[in-house]
C-alpha cells in the first residue's frame, strides 16, 4: 500500500512539469553553472548573476553533482553567462531533479510513520501529499521535500532513541540549509537531557537522581563536528565570505510577500497608523512604499520603531525559552519525552516563523510537517494540525499567482483537507454512552470555536481576492491589497495557533492521565534499529 501510494503521488508530479515556475528556477540553474564551471574556492565569490550562491556547502556540492547529470540534457544551461536560460530540456531536468530527490522525503515519511502503531498509513499519506510541498517544490520550484526528508529521518531516529544518528542527520540538514538553525536549540536541550544525562527511573517515571555522562557528550560532539568539518573544511579560508552569503541581513525584515507572522501584523499596524496621522494632520517621516510593493529591501517604518535583526533574534530566543525549559523537564519522563520533543520542535519552529528576520512564507512548512506526525498522537495535536494545515497551505496561494493555477491549488488544498478532516477524527472516536453522546471532534472548546470561525473566514477572503477585488477595478490601483489581506488574516490565525498550542504544551502534565481515548504513548513503537 505504501509503495502504491508513493507511485501515484510521484506520477501526479509529472503533470506539473510544464506549469509556471518562479525565479527560484533561475537561482538553481545558476548554481548548477557556477559549481560546474568554477573551482570550489570561487563558488561563494561569483556575482555574474544576482542570484548568488547562499546555501551551505553540502547544497553547493549537491548542485555540483546534479550539474554532471544536467550536461546530458542541455550543456547550455551550465554556462554561467546564460542568465535566465530555460530551454525545454533545462526545465525537464530541473523538474526531474526535484522529483528524484523527493524519494528521500517519501522514504523518510515511511520510516518516520513506521514508529507509530496506530494511524501510520494516514500520517504517511498526509505527509507525501502535503499540498504546500507540491505547490512550492513542483510548481513554484524548490527542493524543500528533500530537506524535510532529512529532518524526518532525524526525527525518526530520535524517536527510536538512536540519538547519535539523529544528531548526524540534523547536522547534515544544517549543512544543506541553515534555516533549520531555528530549531537547533530543541536538539541541544533534548540531547543533553536524554543522552548526556543518565536518568534514574522506575517504570519510566523519573527519580531525582541523574548523572552526567561526559563520554556521551564527547561522542555527540565528535559526531556533529565531523559533519561540519567535512562541510566547511574545504572553505576554511573563505569563512567570512561564506557567512556573509548565508546571512544576508540587508534583505530586510520581510520578504516581498509578507509571511503571515507577527511582522505582517506589525507592518499593517504601521500602515494604519500612517493613514490616521495623515487624517489628523500629524507629520511623520514617510518611508518608501516598498513594504507593499513586492520588493525585497531594507525598510524603515513610518510610525512604529524600525525593527533590526538583533531585535528579531532576541524576541525569537525569548519566545522559545519557556518551551525549552518545559522540554528539559519532560525529557526526564521516558513515557512522554519523544512526543514532547516533536511538540517542542513544532513550537520553536512557530516561534522562529513568528519573530524571525526575513521569514519566507514557505517556512510555514517547517511547522506543518512535524505537526502532521503529531496529528495521530493526541486529540489536541490533531485539532491543531487540521487548523494550521488548512490556514498555512492557504497562505501559500499567492506564490502561484497565475489565474490558470487557481483550480489546481484549490483542488490540492480541498482534497488534502477533506482527507484529513474525515480520517483524523475517526482515530479519536470513543464508544457512545449515556454520559458521553459525542465522539471524535464534535465537542469544541471556546478557543477552538474561535479558530473554527476564523478558518471559515478564508471563504470570504478567497471570494474577495478572486472575484470582488478585480470586479471593483482595484486590481489596477491597489494590486497588492489581496496579498496584504491574505498575509494579515493568516497571520492572525498563526498567532492564535501559536498561543493555543504553546499553552497546551506548557500545561501538559505527565502526572495526570491524558484525555486521549487510548494511551498516547502506546502508539509509538519505541524500538532501536537493529
Residue 443 pLDDT exceeds 90 = no
Q: Which of 131, 182, 180, 151 is nearest to 396 (CA)?
A: 131
Q: Is position 142 within any domain?
A: yes
Q: Greater confidence, 510 or 244?
A: 244
Q: Is position 401 within any domain?
A: yes
Q: Which cell is 204 given?
A: 519510566
- Average pLDDT of every residue of the chain: 87
Task: Give the Cα separation of 398 and 486 in Å (integer).
Answer: 8
Residue 435 pLDDT exceeds 80 = no
- DSSP state at residue 260: S
- Residue 478 main-chain phi, psi, to 5 deg: -130, 65
pTM: 0.91
Q: Greater confidence, 141 or 516?
A: 141
Task: Give the Cα separation of 68 and 156 in Å (integer).
Answer: 32
Residue 26 pLDDT exceeds 80 = yes
Residue 343 pLDDT exceeds 70 = yes
Residue 334 pLDDT exceeds 50 = yes
- DSSP state at residue 210: E
Q: Is position 271 within any domain?
A: no
Provide the pLDDT for residue 479.
85
Helices 262-280 and 337-355: crossing angle, nearest 10°? Answer: 30
Answer whether 494's CB lies under 8 Å from 260's CB. Answer: yes
Task: Give the Cα separation of 516 and 377 in Å (integer).
Answer: 9
Provide the pLDDT for residue 461.
94
Task: Give the Cα separation of 134 and 264 in Å (integer).
Answer: 25
Task: Give the Cα separation of 128 and 134 in Å (integer).
Answer: 9
Confidence of residue 274 (pLDDT cuts 50, 70, 90): confident
Provide the pLDDT for residue 364.
96
Provide the pLDDT for residue 249.
76
Provide the pLDDT for residue 74.
94
Provide the pLDDT for residue 510.
64
Task: Give the Cα separation of 286 and 301 in Å (integer).
Answer: 8
CA distances to 338, 377, 394 from 343, in Å: 9, 11, 23
Confidence of residue 506 (pLDDT cuts 50, 70, 90): very high
Start-to-end CA span in the chain (Å): 24
Provide the pLDDT for residue 321.
97
Q: Greater confidence, 282 or 516?
A: 282
Mapped to the 3 state alphabet, what secondary structure does 275-335 carry?
Answer: HHHHHHCCCCCCCCHHHHCCCCCCCCCCCCCCCCHHHHHHHHHHHHHHHHHHHHHHCCCCC
Provide the pLDDT for residue 527.
41
For residues 186-193, average pLDDT: 95
Provide the pLDDT for residue 369.
97
For residues 323-352, average pLDDT: 91
Q: Greater confidence, 293 or 265?
A: 265
For residues 396-403, average pLDDT: 91
Q: Which of 284, 283, 5 is nearest to 124 (CA)?
A: 5
DSSP string, 437-458: ---TT----HHHHHHHHHHHHH
Q: Is position 287 within any domain?
A: no
DSSP string, 340-377: HHHHHHHHHHHHHHHH-TTB-GGGGHHHHHHHHHHTTT
Note down the domain range covering 79.
1-249+309-427+445-518
- DSSP state at residue 468: I
Answer whether 122's CB lies under 8 Å from 529's CB. Answer: no
Q: Greater confidence, 452 or 200?
A: 452
Q: Which cell is 113 given?
A: 510513520
DSSP string, 182-196: GGHHHHHHHHIIIII
Provide the pLDDT for residue 441.
64
Q: Which of 126, 145, 129 is nearest to 137 (CA)?
A: 145
Q: Is position 285 within any domain?
A: no
Q: Which cell is 433 given?
A: 454512552
Answer whether 112's CB lies under 8 Å from 373's CB. Answer: yes
Q: Which cell is 199 given?
A: 536518568
Number of H-type helices and E-type strands within the chain = 21, 2
Total domain count, the chain: 1
Task: Give the Cα separation of 341 and 368 in Å (integer).
Answer: 15
Provide the pLDDT for residue 436.
53
For residues 86-98, average pLDDT: 95
Answer whether 364's CB lies under 8 Å from 494's CB. Answer: yes
Provide the pLDDT for residue 289.
45
For residues 65-85, average pLDDT: 95
Task: Give the Cα separation of 317 and 305 in Å (integer).
Answer: 20
Percent of the chain with pLDDT strictly greater than 70: 87
Task: Give the Cα separation of 206 and 334 in Å (integer).
Answer: 8
Q: Is position 528 within any domain?
A: no
Percent of the chain with pLDDT strictly greater than 90: 67
Amino acid at each position: 500500500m505504501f509503495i502504491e501510494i508513493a507511485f501515484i503521488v510521484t506520477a501526479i508530479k509529472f503533470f506539473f512539469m510544464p506549469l509556471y515556475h518562479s525565479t527560484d528556477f533561475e537561482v538553481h540553474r545558476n548554481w548548477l553553472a557556477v559549481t560546474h564551471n568554477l573551482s570550489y574556492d570561487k563558488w561563494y565569490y561569483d556575482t555574474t548573476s544576482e542570484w548568488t550562491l547562499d546555501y551551505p556547502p553540502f547544497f553547493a556540492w549537491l548542485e555540483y553533482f546534479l550539474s554532471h547529470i544536467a550536461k546530458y540534457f542541455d550543456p547550455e544551461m551550465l554556462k554561467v553567462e546564460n542568465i535566465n536560460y530555460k530551454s525545454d530540456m533545462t526545465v525537464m531536468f530541473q523538474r526531474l531533479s526535484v522529483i528524484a530527490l523527493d524519494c528521500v522525503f517519501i522514504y523518510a515519511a515511511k520510516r518516520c510513520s513506521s514508529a507509530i502503531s496506530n494511524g501510520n498509513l494516514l500520517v504517511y499519506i498526509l505527509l507525501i501529499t502535503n499540498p504546500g510541498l507540491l505547490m512550492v517544490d513542483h510548481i513554484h520550484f524548490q527542493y524543500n521535500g528533500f530537506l524535510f526528508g532529512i529532518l524526518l529521518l532525524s526525527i525518526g531516529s530520535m524517536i527510536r532513541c538512536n540519538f547519535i544518528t539523529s544528531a548526524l542527520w540534523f547536522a547534515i540538514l544544517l549543512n544543506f540549509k541553515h534555516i533549520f538553525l531555528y530549531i537547533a536549540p530543541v536538539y541541544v536541550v533534548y540531547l543533553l537531557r536524554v543522552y548526556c544525562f543518565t536518568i534514574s527511573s522506575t517504570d519510566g517515571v523519573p527519580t531525582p537522581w541523574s548523572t552526567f555522562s561526559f563520554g556521551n557528550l564527547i561522542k555527540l560532539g565528535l559526531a556533529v563536528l565531523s559533519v561540519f568539518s567535512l562541510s566547511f573544511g574545504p572553505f576554511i579560508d573563505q569563512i567570512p565570505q561564506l557567512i556573509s552569503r548565508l546571512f544576508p541581513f540587508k534583505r530586510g525584515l520581510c520578504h516581498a510577500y509578507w509571511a503571515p507572522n507577527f511582522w505582517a501584523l506589525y507592518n499593517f499596524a504601521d500602515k494604519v497608523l500612517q493613514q490616521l496621522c495623515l487624517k489628523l494632520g500629524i507629520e511623520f517621516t514617510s518611508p518608501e512604499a516598498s513594504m507593499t510593493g513586492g520588493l525585497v529591501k531594507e525598510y524603515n517604518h513610518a510610525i512604529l520603531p524600525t525593527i533590526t535583526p538583533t531585535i528579531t533574534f532576541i524576541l525569537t530566543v525569548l519566545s522559545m525559552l519557556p518551551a525549552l525549559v518545559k522540554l528539559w523537564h519532560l525529557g526526564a519522563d521516558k513515557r512522554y519525552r519523544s512526543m514532547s520533543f516533536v511538540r517542542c520542535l513544532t513550537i520553536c519552529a512557530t516561534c522562529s516563523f513568528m519573530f524571525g528576520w526575513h521569514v519566507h512564507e514557505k517556512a510555514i512548512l517547517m511547522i506543518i510537517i512535524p505537526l502532521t506526525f503529531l496529528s495521530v498522537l493526541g486529540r489536541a495535536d490533531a485539532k491543531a494540525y487540521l487548523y494550521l494545515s488548512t490556514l498555512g497551505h492557504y497562505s501559500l496561494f499567492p506564490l502561484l499567482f497565475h489565474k490558470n493555477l487557481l483550480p489546481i491549488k484549490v483542488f490540492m488544498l480541498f482534497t488534502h483537507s477533506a482527507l484529513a478532516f474525515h480520517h483524523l477524527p475517526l482515530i479519536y472516536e470513543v464508544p457512545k454512552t449515556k454520559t458521553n453522546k459525542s465522539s471524535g471532534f464534535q465537542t469544541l472548546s471556546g478557543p477552538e470555536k474561535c479558530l473554527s470561525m476564523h478558518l471559515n473566514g478564508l471563504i470570504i477572503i478567497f471570494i474577495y481576492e478572486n472575484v470582488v477585488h478585480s470586479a471593483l477595478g482595484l486590481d489596477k490601483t491597489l494590486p497588492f491589497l489581496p496579498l496584504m489581506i491574505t498575509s494579515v488574516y493568516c497571520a492572525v490565525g498563526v498567532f492564535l495557533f501559536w498561543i493555543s498550542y504553546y499553552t497546551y504544551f506548557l500545561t501538559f502534565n505527565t502526572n495526570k492521565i491524558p484525555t486521549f481515548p487510548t494511551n498516547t504513548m502506546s502508539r509509538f513503537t519505541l524500538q532501536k534499529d537493529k
